């Protein structure tokens, strides 16, 4: 009661009536329902006055326990979804992995086994197709029945997950035929690997060179190529973790031609830069400190204006949403595998806990309205990935996934006492970030899982989300 309800469509002073796991009504403040004074009748009243009441965040790009770079992403489904809950994210969509030579069904079953009974919040899967061949193409026919309505291909990482243009074309034909949404990691991996080898051989071995090898031209080129192959096949295309302004321009141009082409960016591409990484030093790690920010696509130059371009893309809707690409690795025993050779640093940043707070800073700085904040972090992810109605909106019939957000609160991000960090990492890529705003309470299907007193969730509360086809395509 007493809060400001924010949906993607606008804001209103309203009370939200929860019955069991679902929202029963969104009502004018203090109203009666069928002549009954609600405040006297309900089991429990949560005072939200002075706060924003929003649909729970949906992080549509996470990698719990991903085997990568000779190690595994450090958050399990248990620790990662608990951190999500702390940060106001009540649904995740993780990437089940099929590797080359493996059956898609087996990759998917392995992911179900990791997640089932361990999640604090609801979870769905996309399917990574790491090897496009006649068997995986056939297996893709069954994904929709499994509630998996999107798959990811990689133009990067030759020898790990890579698809060449012929494979991409065939998988996109399957996408067009079935309605599965194609998600693309758009970087020219073979060219990047040559540049990386040349840099390494020239003695340029530190973390910063990761971003130099992964030049924006090779993101622009791959984005363009993906868009054109999608165009030929009629597949809808969602480009993940966009960081180069030239890639946004490619997406914008395709959209202007009326294509079902979409782009996601991540908090790191809005706030962090290659220059920050170049200057990073610590007593403990020396200039290997920069390994904390090794991710792909890489952080880009602030001088070149990429971060401003990401904000602008969110403003013009050429980028429709923000996910984290949460792929955490500790410095000790994980990132440090690449000491002396940046190519061996496991790629990834952990941000699942901070996405709602970091994007709220867009509201504080006047770059986003409150409804747009909700739209890019919850409503569009729900529509894009077939969860809308159940998730992504505060309306009757929706799951009671609700965040009570204090716009006058404060959050200190980072590791240690008084800081917000709950991810299974020995550092934070966001250490020292101060946020105007605070996640006060989090409800997942009607259960209060976070409040001022702490975490009250439980592993196994989170359920698998069978998703519908994308509700965002035209």
Give the per-residue contact string, 66-95, with Zn ion (x = CB under 5 A; - = no). ------------------------------
Tell the smallest beta-carbon distance from residue 319 to Zn ion (Å): 16
Name which of 269, 362, 276 is nearest 324 in CA terms: 269
Tell the smallest beta-carbon distance from residue 363 to ligand URP (Å): 26
Name, in order, each residue with C-beta under 8 angstroms of 38's C-beta and a sequence gap of 6 or more. 15, 17, 27, 31, 32
DSSP-derived secondary structure for 251-318: HHHHHHTT--EEEEE-HHHHH-BHHHHHH--BTTTBGGGGGGG--SSPPB-TTTTHHHHHHHHHHHTS
Tell the smallest beta-carbon distance from residue 187 to ligand URP (Å): 9
Tokens of 416: 């240690």
Which one of 90, 296, 380, 441 is in contact with ligand URP (CB under 6 A)? Answer: 296
CA–CA distance, 412 with 434 (Å, rounded to integer):
5
- 174 binding Zn ion? (CB under 5 A): no
- How many residues line the site for ligand URP (CB under 6 A)? 9
Q: Which is nearer to Zn ion, 74 or 411 (CB)?
A: 74
| Secondary structure element (H or E) that encloses residue 96, with its range | strand 89-98
CA–CA distance, 163 with 150 (Å, rounded to integer):
16
Name which of 333, 361, 334 is nearest 348 in CA terms: 334
Give the per-residue contact string, 179-208, with Zn ion (x = CB under 5 A; - = no). ------x-----------------------
Q: Which of ligand URP, Zn ion, none does 300 bind, CB closer than 5 to 8 A by kind?
A: none
Tell the smallest beta-carbon distance from residue 280 to ligand URP (Å): 17
b/e per residue 186-204 (b: at least 16 CB within 10 A): bbbbebbbebbeebbeeee
Inter-residue contact 472 to 442 (CB < 8 Å): no
CA–CA distance, 346 with 309 (Å, rounded to integer):
27
Inter-residue contact 443 to 401 (CB < 8 Å): yes
Q: Which is nearer to ligand URP, 299 or 359 (CB)?
A: 299
Which one of 17, 52, 115, 295 is in contact with ligand URP (CB under 6 A)? Answer: 295
Q: Which is nearer to Zn ion, 272 or 403 (CB)?
A: 272
Q: Which is nearer to ligand URP, 98 or 411 (CB)?
A: 98
- 348 binding ligand URP? (CB under 6 A): yes
Q: Which of ligand URP, Zn ion, none does 348 bind, CB closer than 5 to 8 A by kind?
A: ligand URP
Q: Which of ligand URP, Zn ion, none does 347 bind, CB closer than 5 to 8 A by kind?
A: ligand URP
Inter-residue contact 15 to 29 (CB < 8 Å): yes
CA–CA distance, 84 with 443 (Å, rounded to integer):
12
Q: Which is nearer to ligand URP, 151 or 373 (CB)?
A: 151
370: phi then psi, degrees, rounded to nearest 5: -55, -45
> What residues between 315 and 354 interact with Zn ion by CB under 5 A?
325
DSSP-derived secondary structure for 178-213: H-PEEEEE-S-HHHHHHHHHHHHHTT--STHHHHHH
Tell the smallest beta-carbon distance from residue 27 to ligand URP (Å): 42
Looking up tokens 């996470």 gives: 62
Name which of 6, 472, 20 is nearest 259 in CA terms: 472
Q: Which is nearer to Zn ion, 323 or 378 (CB)?
A: 323
Tell the smallest beta-carbon distance from residue 409 to ligand URP (Å): 30
Tell the smallest beta-carbon distance from residue 452 to ligand URP (Å): 34
Tell the smallest beta-carbon distance from residue 19 to Zn ion (Å): 37
Q: Which is nearer to Zn ion, 327 or 443 (CB)?
A: 327
Tell the smallest beta-carbon distance from residue 296 to Zn ion (Å): 6
Which one of 309, 327, 429, 450 is in contact with ligand URP (CB under 6 A)? Answer: 327
Which one of 325, 375, 401, 440 is in contact with ligand URP (CB under 6 A)? Answer: 325
Q: Which is nearer to ligand URP, 348 or 362 (CB)?
A: 348
> What residues between 226 and 265 interact with ligand URP by CB under 6 A?
241
Which one of 63, 82, 174, 210 is in contact with ligand URP (CB under 6 A)? Answer: 63
Tokens of 183: 């998600």
Q: Which is nearer to ligand URP, 131 or 348 (CB)?
A: 348
Name which of 244, 242, 262, 265 is nearest 254 in CA terms: 262
Q: Which is nearer to ligand URP, 233 or 243 (CB)?
A: 243
C-alpha pair distances (Å), 372 with each of 9, 115, 360, 400: 8, 31, 10, 20
CA–CA distance, 216 with 410 (Å, rounded to integer):
35
Report the Cα–Cα distance between both ends of the chain, in Å, rounded. 37
> What residues between 395 and 424 interact with Zn ion by CB under 5 A?
none
Residues forming the site for ligand URP (CB under 6 A): 63, 185, 241, 295-296, 325, 327, 347-348
Residues forming the site for Zn ion (CB under 5 A): 185, 325
């Amino acid at each position: 009661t007493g809060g400001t309800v924010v949906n993607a469509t606008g804001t209103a002073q309203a009370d939200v009536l929860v019955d069991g796991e679902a929202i029963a009504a969104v009502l004018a403040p203090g109203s009666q329902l069928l002549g009954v004074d609600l405040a006297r009748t309900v089991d429990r009243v949560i005072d939200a006055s002075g706060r924003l009441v929003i649909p729970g965040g949906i992080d549509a790009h996470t990698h719990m326990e991903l085997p990568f770079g000779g190690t595994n992403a450090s958050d399990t489904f248990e620790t990662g979804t608990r951190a999500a809950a702390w940060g106001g994210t009540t649904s995740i969509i993780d990437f089940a992995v099929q590797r080359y030579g493996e059956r898609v069904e087996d990759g998917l079953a392995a992911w179900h086994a990791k997640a089932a009974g361990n999640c604090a919040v609801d979870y769905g899967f996309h399917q990574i197709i790491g090897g496009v061949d006649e068997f995986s193409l056939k297996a893709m026919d069954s994904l929709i029945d499994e509630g998996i309505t999107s798959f990811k291909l990689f133009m990067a990482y030759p020898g790990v997950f890579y698809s060449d243009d012929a494979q991409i074309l065939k998988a996109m034909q399957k996408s067009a035929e079935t309605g599965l949404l194609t998600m693309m990691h758009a970087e020219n991996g073979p060219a990047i690997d040559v540049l990386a080898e040349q840099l390494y051989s020239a003695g340029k071995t530190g973390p910063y060179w990761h971003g130099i090898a992964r030049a924006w031209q090779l993101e622009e080129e791959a984005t363009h190529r993906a868009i054109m192959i999608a165009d030929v096949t009629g597949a809808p295309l969602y480009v993940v973790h966009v960081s180069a302004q030239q890639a946004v321009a490619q997406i914008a141009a395709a959209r202007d031609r009326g294509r079902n082409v979409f782009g996601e960016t991540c908090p790191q591409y809005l706030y962090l830069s290659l220059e920050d990484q170049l200057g990073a030093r610590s007593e403990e790690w020396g200039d290997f400190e920069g390994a904390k920010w090794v991710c792909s696509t890489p952080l880009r130059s602030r001088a070149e204006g990429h971060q401003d371009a990401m904000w602008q893309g969110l403003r013009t809707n050429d980028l429709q949403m923000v996910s984290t690409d949460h792929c955490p690795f500790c410095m000790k025993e994980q990132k440090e595998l690449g000491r002396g050779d940046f190519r061996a640093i496991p790629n990834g940043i952990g941000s699942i806990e901070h996405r709602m707070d970091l994007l709220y800073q867009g509201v504080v700085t006047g770059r986003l309205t409150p409804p747009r904040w909700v739209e890019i972090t919850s409503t569009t992810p729900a529509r894009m990935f077939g969860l809308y109605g159940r998730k992504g909106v505060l309306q009757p019939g929706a799951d009671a996934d609700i965040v009570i957000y204090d716009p006058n609160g404060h959050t200190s991000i980072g590791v240690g006492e008084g800081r917000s960090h709950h991810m299974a990492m020995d550092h934070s890529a966001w250490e020292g970030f101060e946020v105007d705003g605070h996640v006060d309470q989090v409800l997942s299907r009607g259960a209060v899982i976070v409040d001022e007193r702490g975490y009250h969730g439980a592993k196994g509360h989170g359920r698998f989300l069978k998703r519908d086809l994308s509700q965002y395509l035209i």
